Amino acid sequence: MRLHNILVSMPLKPEHREQFIKALPDAQVRFARWQELADEELAGFDAAVGKPAADLLPKLKGLKLLQLSSSGVDPEYLKLRELLPEAVLCSSSGAFGQAISEHMLGMLLMLLKRLHEYRDDQMTAEWIDRGDVRSPRRMTVLIIGAGSIGTDFARLVKLMGARTVGVRRTRGEADPVYDEMHTFDELDRLLPGADVTALSLPETPQTVGLMDARRFGLLKTGSYLLNVGRGSVLDQDALLSALREGRLAGAGIDVTVPEPLPKDHPLWGEKNLIITPHISGFFHLRHTHDSIVDIACHNLAAWPEGPFISRLDFESGYRAKESG
C-alpha cells in the first residue's frame, strides 16, 4: 500500500519537482498553493508537504502523512493526532543545521568583535575606535538544545577553541563535539558559568518561558545570549533588562514574540542586540532547500512502514526514537 495523491505546497526549483516525481512514480503529485485549492480537493490528498495554516488541518480529511517544511513544529500541528489519530507527522529537522549554526556564529562574532557598533558608526560617517574585543577561544558555550542545529553550532565554536557544554532532555551518548552533556534539571547550575548561552529549542509546554527573569538573573555578567529556536522560550522583558543593566554584553535573536516584532517594540532600539526576522533557516541556503526535499521524498516513499526521518512524537513534540 502506497500514497497515491500527494500535495506539495512549498517553494521549489524545477529539479526539486523532478525529484518528487521520480521518487514517487506510482503517485499523482500535485504542486499548488494551499489557498488555490477548494475544500473538496484538500480532502482528497492522502499526503501533503509544506506548512498548512492551522485552519486548513481539519479540511485535510484523508491525510495519512503530513511532512512539514520546517524544523520547529508549532503546537497546532501536534493537534493533528486529535483530528487524524493514524496520521504520521514529520518535520524537516536535520535540514537546517548548517544554515542556522552559521547564522548563530555570524551573530556571535559580530557581537564579540563589535561589528554592529562599527556598522552603526558607518551610517553616521563616524571614524571611532570602539576599543577591546573578545574571542570565542577558551569561552564556555552553553548550548541549550543539543539537536542537529545545536550540535552543528557546537562544532563550529569548538573549531574556534571554545569549550562546549550541551543541555538536552534525556541522558545518553553525546556527540563527541561536546566537552560535557547535561539535562535540563541541571540548567540553573550551568548558566552562571557560561560565557555564551545559545538556545535552539522547539516550542513545547516544557520550553515556553524556560529563560524567565529568574534565569536571566543567573547569567554571568558580561556574557552573551543567542536564540534561534522559538521566541516563546525566553522572557523578552527580562532580555531587555539584562541588556540595559549590562548583565548581557550582547544578544542575537532570530525569533521573537510576536512575529513580526511591532515597530514600536523597545527591543529594536537596543544597541547591543542583533535582531533578524526569523530567516536563519528557511530556504535561503541551497543546501537547506535540497535537504528538505530529500527528507520529504524519503518519508513519502517510506510510508507506511517507515522508518521515517524526523517523525514527531506527539507527546513530547520532539523527534521520535525511530527517526534518522
Residue numbers annotated as active site: 230, 259, 278
Return d(Cα 253, Cα 20) in angstroms, integer: 34
| Helix, strand, coil share of the chain (percent; to 5) | 35, 20, 45
Return d(Cα 61, Cα 63) in angstroms, integer: 6
Residue with cell 570602539: 130
Side-chain-side CA neighbours of residue 157 (13 Å): 34
Return d(Cα 86, Cα 81) in angstroms, integer: 7
As to burial, measured by CB atoms within 10 angstroms (0-12 exposed, 13-18 middle, 19+ buried), residue 196 is buried
Return d(Cα 31, Cα 17) in angstroms, integer: 8
Closest CA to 31 of 53, 58, 56, 49: 49
Return d(Cα 253, Cα 256) in angstroms, integer: 7
Helix (H) or strand (E) holding 197: strand 196-199
As to burial, measured by CB atoms within 10 angstroms (0-12 exposed, 13-18 middle, 19+ buried), residue 121 is middle
Instruction: Please list the residues that pair with 275 across neighbouring strands.
Output: 253
First to last CA, the chain: 22
Closest CA to 293 of 94, 26, 125: 94
Q: Where are the beta strands (DSSP E) in 39-145?
A: 47-50, 65-68, 88-90, 140-144
